[in-house]
Structure 1
Amino acid sequence: MLRPPHPRRTARVTGAVLAAVATLAACGSAATPAPMPTAPPATSSSGPGVPGSPAAAAASRPANAPVVVLDPGHDGGNAAHPAEINRPVPAGRGETKPCNTTGTSTAAGYPEHAFTWDVAVRVRDALIARGVRAVTTRPDDAGVGPCVNDRAAIGNRAGAAAVVSIHADGSDAAGARGFHVAYAAPPLNDAQGAPSAALARALRDALRGAGFTPANYIGADGLAPRADLAGLNLSTRPAALVECGNMRDAREGAVLSSPVGRQRYADAITMAVLAYLGR
């Protein structure tokens, strides 16, 4: 979740993530750590020789395939490393913010970091199967960070055609529910202008088309132009941040924490990215 006055979050970039990028060349109250998510595996256990597997798709995709960077918010180890995630880092527009935060959770204790990782992996594997070179800004849900400025740098160095940051909100306002998509405004470079706004609209349209309701407490018609999100401010690539829903709302929290609900979100985000890329 990334919503004022709560700062964005992150910590160090791991060597595994940086290596992945090299080969290719935004929350509420602290969440109590919960059991690890039942995310799909990072790669198919069936191996690269099995048609239709993520590994097979990755091996067969063309070298000029577009790169998409998926940024699952927070990380599973953040809560245990407060000094590391609270250190200030550049946030753009002359500001600094804490490296990262722990994120929010549902009333039942399902954490945002688990949700974002699960959805990001589902989207990543679906995009790879469609010939897109998709990577995540963190390798798993057991680490710390990376910091918000480092997450932006991963997309920049990858020359990403699109960067999608995945979150869930944590508003305690009565009746607050629904998704919203943030993009940098006013823009600081050309990529933050029309391209990022178009990516945000594609995400909004796909989520709405999948039956999700735009937020009734922030933004307008599912869109929220923002000047305070470091990952968007520091991006030189088309970037948007989607808050998939409000984890603190009981009804919406149940959808966000269910495997069926997470697949619905992943399908919508995948279709949005493909539509934005014209694929």
Structure 2
Amino acid sequence: MTGTTSDTPAFPEPPRRPARTRVVIAAALVLPLGLAGWFGWRAVSGGSGPDARTPAPTASTASRDSLITDANSDPLGTSPAPSGTAAPSPSAGTGGAAPAASNQLAGRTVLLDPGHNSGNAQHTKEIGRQVDIGNARKECDATGTSTNAGYSEAEYTLDVVRRARAILQSRGARVVLTQDGDRPWGPCIDERARIGNDARADAAVSVHGDGAPAGATGFHVIMPARVTAGLADTSKIVEPSQRLGLLLRDRFKEATGEPFADYIGKQGLDTRSDLGGLNLSKVPKVFIECGNMRNADDARRMTDAEWRQRAALGIADALTAFLTT
């Protein structure tokens, strides 16, 4: 401004307040801010004192959908997980969120039995021999069925079992398989039962696909009948197997949307006394026929990788519920 220098203020400076007045004003400003910060901290911490904290998320709160994310690339590969190492998560290598690990099944052993074997057709003599199932003699194993397009039951069951294994291992379970694509054929039905018995499994599920007439559709769970004959004695496992069967029926339907079978059983359940894998089991065990591979609608679902991931989740959820309730 004209007539001023840099040392001279443009406007007269107001008179200064006494020092005591300035202290009082500062205190009046600081106190409300401090109270506001304290109330804000209580709101965040839950208001239960200086040690309160917002609970950290646990594995049980992880999104169930994270186990289904990006399942299209066969996340488990074609070879078994090395002994003593964790299997890849169901979304590993696909960019999907990996499921949170938990220990809810720590100390529990699960037997998963993928029905049949892709090599059985080349070993008809071996699988055709008769084995003792307690109340009868039956063939060691069978080739299994397939979709009209050639997707085999053995391929389907091994894929679903591997996916279920990954989920169960992520929950802390020890998972034993009757075969993991590492045998040229079999095993026989009596050995399948024995593997679960020797492992002292807490529960066992045998996974299958059915080969019913093309007009039939849906899934069903097979539970053991009471059989006490020769090598077979299911008297101790009938009741817990029925409980497992009900849980598997409900969880599988919830996960996949597959209807109950309209050609066998009742409301998705059947009871049989002619299956060696059930007759010879000493641990709670059921079979699941996940759908009719000869039916066009069922086949379309069963050949879809995302649907198979949902099937695996339904199986894993049923086993988890059985072992934790």
Which category describes the TM-score, using the shorter chain as reference length? 0.7 to 0.9
Deviation at 1:138, TM superposition (A): 0.4
Amino acid at match of 1:200: G
1:255–1:70 Cα change, 3 Å? same
- Counterparts in 2 of 1:200-279, with a 5 A limit? 200-210=245-255, 211-278=257-324
Deviation at 1:139, TM superposition (A): 2.4
Residue among 230, 238, 248 paired with 1:193: 238
Give 4+ residue runs of structure 1 displaced > 6 Å after superposition. 50-54, 60-64
Checking the alignment, whether the CA contact within 8 Å between 2:204 and 2:284 is kept in structure 1 is: yes
Amino acid at match of 1:236: K
In terms of mean alpha carbon deviation, does 141-150 or 193-202 score higher?
141-150
User: 5+ residue gaps in structure 1?
Assistant: 1-36
**Could you say what secondary structure the match of 1:154 adopts?**
helix
TM-superposition CA deviations, 1:77-131 (whole Å, max 9, x none): 10001100001111222x1111111100001110000000000000011100100
Deviation at 1:186, TM superposition (A): 2.4
Q: CA separation in 2, counterparts of 1:252 and 1:232?
A: 25
**Alignment length, in residue pairs?**
236
Q: Percent identity?
A: 44
Which of 1 and 2 has greater Rg?
A: 2
Q: CA separation in 2, counterparts of 1:191 and 1:200?
A: 15
The equivalent residue for 2:11 is none
1:63–1:197 Cα change, 3 Å? closer
Q: CA separation in 1, counterparts of 2:119 and 2:89?
A: 35
Checking the alignment, whether the CA contact within 8 Å between 1:39 and 1:121 is kept in structure 2 is: no
TM-score normalised by the chain length of structure 1: 0.78
Q: CA separation in 1, counterparts of 2:251 and 2:89?
A: 28
The equivalent residue for 2:146 is 105
Amino acid at match of 1:76: S
Greater relative contact order (Cα < 8 A, sep 6+): 1
**Could you say what secondary structure the match of 1:202 adopts?**
helix
Checking the alignment, whether the CA contact within 8 Å between 1:106 and 1:247 is kept in structure 2 is: yes
Residue among 70, 75, 78 paired with 2:117: 75
**Could you say what secondary structure the match of 1:191 adopts?**
coil
The equivalent residue for 2:222 is 182
The equivalent residue for 1:162 is 203
The RMSD of aligned alpha carbons is: 2.8
